[in-house]
Amino acid sequence: MVVSMTGFGSARVESGQHVVTVEIKSVNHRFCELNIRTPKQLVKIEGKLKKKMTGYIKRGKVDAFITITGEGLVHRRLKVDWQLADDYFQIIHTLKEKYSLKDNVLLQDILQRDELISIEETEEENKELEHTVERALVKSLEDLTAMRRAEGEKLQEDLLLHISLFRETLHSINKHVPEVITRYRTRLERKIKELTDDRADESRILTEIAVFADKSDISEEITRLESHLTQFTSALGQDIPIGRKLDFIIQEMNREVNTIGSKANDAVIAAFVVEMKTCLEKLREQVQNVE
């Protein structure tokens, strides 16, 4: 089964005083890279959330955004640094006595000192909220997976189309190979007759043809390409991540096509090689999207 690495999923779950929203987007990546952006109170369960994500995603760069609205997420209280406040008062009174100052110390003078009074936030442990976040994450992953599979179906159709075109071109090359030898023999006989006053040595001609046929033999490359095509189409039906496997098969196919192009020594086959390379390039582009 072809699954695309590109997709988007979202979910919104309400529970008690909280509303949890999760949005996930995924793009192409060589490996599996998971990133989660969560409120501070969820950092401790980030590992658990990523583990759930790996159950749905095997490859791709994935960003998950979790937002929470509602009451009771954190507890706030005023914190006073009494020791520092005592030091302030002691120094102020010392300065007043030493320099005979008469100004009074006002409450607002104390409240304006950020280092004396601050607001402290403590995270409230809330198991129900954590369960709600997990539910929302799973729903968004299911939404993402549905989109990735839908995109994968389109990818598979395009891959099969170009594989079919490649196979047709390969068959055309296979049918054309005997003509290459025949045309070479005709050219060789004509050339030898021109050089020997129409006295061609049949044994010499056969030897030259045998040497040419051996050098330009592409039967092994054709056989390997047919095997690669079978492996490629078979992999499309596997229910596991297949992107890297398909990419490797395409590399091997490209190697065989290059060999055919260098050995064939024929204009028609050279044109077929260009067509196959075009198909391979299209396949390579699409396989980069496959998980």
What does the DSSP assignment read for 64-104? EEEEEEES-SEEEEEEE-HHHHHHHHHHHHHHHHHHT--PP
Residue 33 or residue 200, greater confidence: 33
| Paired tokens of 34 | 């998971």
- Once rounded to an integer, what is the mean pLDDT over residues 67-83? 75
Cα torsion 6, 142, 67, 33 to 10°: value is -40
Of the options 3.30.230.10, 3.20.20.70, 3.40.50.300, 3.40.1260.20, the CATH number for the domain spanning 7-72+125-148? 3.30.230.10
**Residues 144 and 7: beta-carbon distance below 8 Å:** yes
The class of domain 151-180+216-287 in CATH terms is mainly alpha
Beta sheet of 32-37, edge-to-edge order: 7-15, 18-27, 60-70, 32-37
Sorting pLDDT into bands at 50, 70 and 90, what band is 189?
Answer: low
- Checking if the pLDDT of 3 tops 60, the result is yes
% of the chain at pLDDT higher than 70:
81
**Residues 246 and 180: beta-carbon distance below 8 Å:** no
For 106, phi then psi, to 5°, come to -95, 155
> Which whole-number Å values give the CA distances from 10 to 32, 65, 66, 134, in the listed order?
20, 9, 10, 13
- Checking if the pLDDT of 122 tops 70, the result is no
**β partners of residue 36:** 64
> Which whole-number Å values give the CA distances from 262 to 64, 66, 265, 273, in the listed order?
49, 56, 7, 10
pLDDT for the residue numbered 40:
78
Domain ranges of the chain: 7-72+125-148, 74-123, 151-180+216-287
% of the chain at pLDDT higher than 90:
52
Identical fold, 7-72+125-148 and 151-180+216-287: no
- Checking if the pLDDT of 69 tops 80, the result is yes
> Which whole-number Å values give the CA distances from 177 to 168, 191, 210, 266, in the listed order?
15, 22, 14, 9
* The model scores a pTM over 0.75: no
Exposure string for 143-178, b = 16+ CB within 10 A, e = fewer: bbbebbeebbeebbeebeebbebbbebbeebbeebe
Amino acid identity for residue 109 in this structure: D
Q: For residues 253 and 265, what is the distance between their CA atoms, to the nearest angstrom?
A: 19
